[in-house]
Structure 1
Amino acid sequence: MAELMENQVFMAFTTYAAIVVLKMVLMGPLTAYFRITRGSFANEEDVSGKSEEQKKKLLRTHPDVERVRRCHLNDLENVVPFVLVGLLYALTGPELSTALLHFRIFTGCRIFHTIAYVSVLPQPSRGLSYIVGMLVIISMAYRVLSAVLLL
């Protein structure tokens, strides 16, 4: 473990992985914020103590809440593969500059994707950030498979 902590590529990976995981985790409180400010709750217990009429108004979906939820789901679909493939990639011994390029592009894409999704920026901004992020994961996976298959 001490050797890994001295490896610059591994340290860069842990830094960028922590950033995107933290961003993904913060989507939960952002969803809660949108639920509270938009008065849109999903569960009966979230509106306990309210009259039946108030419950009907509060137990509903809201487009803004659903947008943040979809953004969070998209993070789950992309950040988890990045962390798994990125870890394997870091262990293949890539050049630091190449690894940093992969990690930084993915992290930037995920942050921009969230801004584009929540702020409702016009397409293709969100779509391009998603595609570029996926290409980074594919590129790292290719390196991992190439390293393993050449052994």
Structure 2
Amino acid sequence: MPAIDPEILKVFGFWSSILVLKLLAMVPLTARQRFRKNVFANQEDIAFSNISKGKVVYNDSDVERVRRAHLNDLENILPWFIVTYLWLGTGPSPWLAKTFIRTFVLSRVIHTVSYVFFQQQPTRAISFFVAYGIMGYEAVKTLLYYS
């Protein structure tokens, strides 16, 4: 197994950190929607927040939109970390590796922005499938390399 090129690993580390920060940002985005709408997931959250108008709601469309975007991130970004790291161990071309890493991260950021803020298609679908295609390519190449 070839060693991972340190230059590519640096790119992976930088852009992966951006994705982690994006994932972390989804938590306050969800909380913002909950406080804006005065809807909470649990009765104790209402008592803790001291909002007398708050209510327990499980299906607010604005809160659920952010939660679905967050879930979509978890379903796609976490596997990407694993498969990309393994793929980098196969010795891909530095240009291709850097391009895929940057494109994946930018696609996921665009996906979230179009999902949560602009609520528009086809931008959301295109950004999803670009990132999904990159992950699929890396997974297949990794599988073939290690088989």
TM-score, normalised by the number of residues in structure 1: 0.86
Match of 2:55 among 50, 58, 66: 58
1:96, distance to aligned residue in structure 2 (A): 1.1
Q: Give the structure 2 partner of residue 28 of structure 1.
A: 27
Bigger Rg, structure 1 or 2: 1
1:33, distance to aligned residue in structure 2 (A): 1.2
Quick one: percent identity of the two aligned structures? Answer: 36
Q: Give the structure 1 partner of residue 78 of structure 2.
A: 80
1:77-131 deviation per Cα after TM superposition (whole angstroms, max 9, x unaligned): 0000110101101111211110011101110110000110112332111111111
The 10-residue stretch of structure 1 (82-91 or 11-20) with the greater mean CA deviation from structure 2: 11-20
1:49, distance to aligned residue in structure 2 (A): 7.1
SS at match of 1:48: helix
Residues paired across the two proteins, number:
143
Query: Which ranges of structure 2 fall in alignment gaps of 5 or more residues?
Result: none
Q: Which 4+ stretches in 1 moved above 2 angstroms?
A: none
1:37, distance to aligned residue in structure 2 (A): 1.3
Mapping for residues 83-122 of structure 1, pairs under 5 Å: 83-122=81-120
SS at match of 1:82: helix
Query: Which ranges of structure 1 fall in alignment gaps of 5 or more residues?
Result: none
Question: Is contact 1:10-1:91 (8 Å) kept?
Answer: no
With over 3 angstroms needed to count, the CA separation of the structure-2 counterparts of 1:58 and 1:106, relative to structure 1, is same
Distance of 1:50 and 1:130 partners within structure 2: 36
Question: Is contact 2:84-2:138 (8 Å) kept?
Answer: yes
Cα RMSD over matched residues? Answer: 2.0
Distance of 1:143 and 1:108 partners within structure 2: 22
Match of 1:136 among 130, 134, 137: 134
Distance of 2:90 and 2:49 partners within structure 1: 57
